[in-house]
């Protein structure tokens, strides 16, 4: 059986409120929508709804209700809302659930039919059919109460129902997910992508991240990031090789050899059609060398004396350069590794350079695939590692260094399947994060 239900929106009440509105902006490819509401109200309340903010007398309904000892029916016309319940109202003392099914919601030639069900153990069970007398496509759904509020923790989950011919993925391989428009195949480890038919695909390839330099060294550069659009693929097997991150060192309480430079990450490839270069390693403290070049460049190490150590160069089109290490005692300032979205910051006399931010250009891919780092509703990938001490890695899986904001950091490695660079610290040299390959195609 094809999977035809797709989660689209979730709203959880954080502060008691009288209404919750879900926008349908950006949702397409579905015939019906289902809204599941579950929670408590501050008093015994009926649950009402409106679509497209229409509060005119444009709704009608037929209801059936049962309380366990009696069954009743009712009909109402010219209402300013549709209702989820008849007898089965929500109460403050018990969790209630209401479900609304919006049929043919995007059709622009017919009035809209809404099927609702609601249940509460203490008040009853309802089912209703409501009609919104309007041919416009539904673009927003509001659920509200009068005379009270939805209590904290109440949830509102919106799902889409696709036609059966949209419900089956057209290839095998990797972890398969979907959104309203695309199927996604995500490879966190090497494997085979096998289309069941000829497909036009977009491919995102992220290489493994570079390792940090030792001591107050430079942060590791992020793995190279490349995207390839409109690739014509046949019904054959395509090899996906996911690059590993450079290894790290944890030396406990003893300092690591100050000259040790982090290794480069490993390349990721999609057959022979697409490849990305592993991130550059960060330079070690007083190593006398620059950060290594790679997909994004590694940061230069800090030094007590001598010339500043530059960050490594990026591969054109795949990332950015590493930051320059600081010169002067105490030299805590290794440069940050470059990221897919920006160069690593330079070190200074009191802290290392922050890792370069990763790319947010593929946020929708990352959200659907469940990879990357989330910040303020946006997903990032391929962030650079932090240099020296007391610095943050770049958004997108870059490893931190030392003790940012006074909080002990025990994991300074780049995050797995982000291509993030490793962060540097006195007794540790953070490893790079492994890469990832994501393939998507339209439903």
Q: What is the pLDDT of residues 386-438, one digit of tens each?
A: 998 889 999 999 999 876 555 555 558 999 999 999 998 776 778 999 999 99
Give the pLDDT confidence score for residue 330 in this predicted structure: 67
Least confident of 30-34, 56-60, 249-253, 295-299: 249-253
* CATH number of the domain located at residue range(s) 5-165 in this protein: 2.60.120
Dihedral-angle region of residue 328 (phi above 0 means left; psi in -120 to 50 means alpha; beta otherwise): left
Interstrand relation of 182-187 and 191-195 (parallel, antiparallel or unpaired)? unpaired
Distance CA 50, CA 21 (A): 9
- Please calculate the CA angle 265-268-272 and round it to the nearest 5 degrees: 145
The answer to whether residues 227 and 206 touch, using CB atoms and an 8 Å cutoff, is: no
pLDDT class of 72 with cuts at 50, 70, 90: confident
Residue 220 has pLDDT above 90, yes or no: yes
As separate numbers, helices (DSSP H) first and strands (DSSP E) second, the chain gives 1, 26
Considering the entire predicted model, what is its pTM?
A: 0.64
Pair of tokens at residue 242: 């996911």
Q: What is the pLDDT of residues 91-119, one digit of tens each?
A: 776 788 889 999 889 888 889 999 998 77
Where are the CATH 2.60.120 domain residues in the chain?
5-165
pLDDT class of 83 with cuts at 50, 70, 90: confident
Residue 261 has pLDDT above 60, yes or no: yes
pLDDT class of 2 with cuts at 50, 70, 90: very low
Specify the higher pLDDT residue, 110 or 313: 313
Peptide bond into 169 cis (omega under 30): no
Least confident of 29-38, 81-90, 92-101, 118-127: 118-127
Give the pLDDT confidence score for residue 73 in this predicted structure: 85
Mean pLDDT in residue range 147-165: 82
Give the pLDDT confidence score for residue 409 in this predicted structure: 54
Give the pLDDT confidence score for residue 211 in this predicted structure: 94
């Amino acid at each position: 059986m094809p999977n035809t239900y797709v989660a689209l929106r979730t709203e959880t009440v954080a502060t008691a409120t009288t209404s919750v509105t879900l926008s349908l902006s950006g949702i397409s490819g579905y015939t019906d929508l289902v809204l599941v509401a579950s929670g408590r109200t501050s008093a015994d309340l009926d649950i009402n709804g409106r679509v497209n903010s229409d509060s005119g007398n444009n709704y009608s309904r037929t209801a059936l209700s049962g309380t366990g000892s009696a069954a009743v029916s009712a009909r109402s016309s010219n209402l300013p809302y549709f209702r989820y319940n008849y007898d089965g109202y929500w109460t403050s003392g018990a969790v209630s659930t209401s479900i609304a099914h919006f049929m043919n919601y995007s059709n622009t030639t017919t009035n809209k039919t809404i099927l609702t069900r609601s249940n509460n153990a203490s008040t009853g069970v309802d089912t209703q059919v409501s009609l919104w007398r309007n041919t416009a496509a539904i673009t927003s759904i509001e659920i509200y109460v009068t005379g009270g509020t939805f209590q904290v923790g109440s949830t509102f989950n919106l799902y889409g129902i696709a036609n059966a011919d949209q419900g089956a993925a057209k290839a095998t391989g990797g972890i398969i997910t979907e959104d309203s428009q695309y199927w996604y195949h995500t490879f966190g480890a090497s494997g085979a992508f096998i289309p069941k038919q000829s497909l036009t695909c977009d491919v995102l390839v992220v290489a493994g991240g570079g390792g940090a330099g030792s001591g107050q060294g430079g942060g590791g550069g992020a793995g190279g990031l490349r995207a390839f659009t409109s690739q014509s693929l046949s019904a054959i097997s395509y090899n996906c090789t996911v690059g590993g991150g450079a290894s790290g060192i944890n030396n406990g309480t003893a300092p690591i050899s100050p000259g040790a430079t982090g290794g480069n990450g490993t390349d990721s490839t999609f057959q022979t059609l697409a490849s990305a270069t592993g991130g550059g390693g960060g330079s070690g403290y007083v190593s006398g060398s620059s950060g290594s070049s790679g997909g994004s460049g590694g940061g230069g190490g800090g030094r007590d004396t001598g010339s500043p150590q530059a960050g490594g160069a990026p591969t054109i089109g795949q990332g950015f350069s590493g930051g320059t290490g600081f010169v002067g005692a105490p030299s805590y300032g290794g440069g940050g590794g470059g990221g897919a979205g920006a160069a690593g910051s330079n070190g200074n006399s009191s802290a290392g350079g922050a890792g370069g931010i990763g790319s947010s250009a593929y946020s929708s891919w990352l959200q659907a695939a469940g990879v990357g780092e989330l910040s303020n509703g946006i997903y990032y990938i391929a962030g650079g590692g932090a240099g020296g001490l007391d610095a943050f890695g770049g958004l997108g899986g870059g490893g931190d260094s030392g003790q940012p904001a006074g909080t002990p950091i025990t994991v300074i490695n780049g995050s797995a399947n982000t291509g993030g660079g490793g962060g540097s610290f006195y007794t540790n040299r953070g490893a790079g994060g492994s890469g990832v390959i994501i393939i998507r195609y339209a439903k």
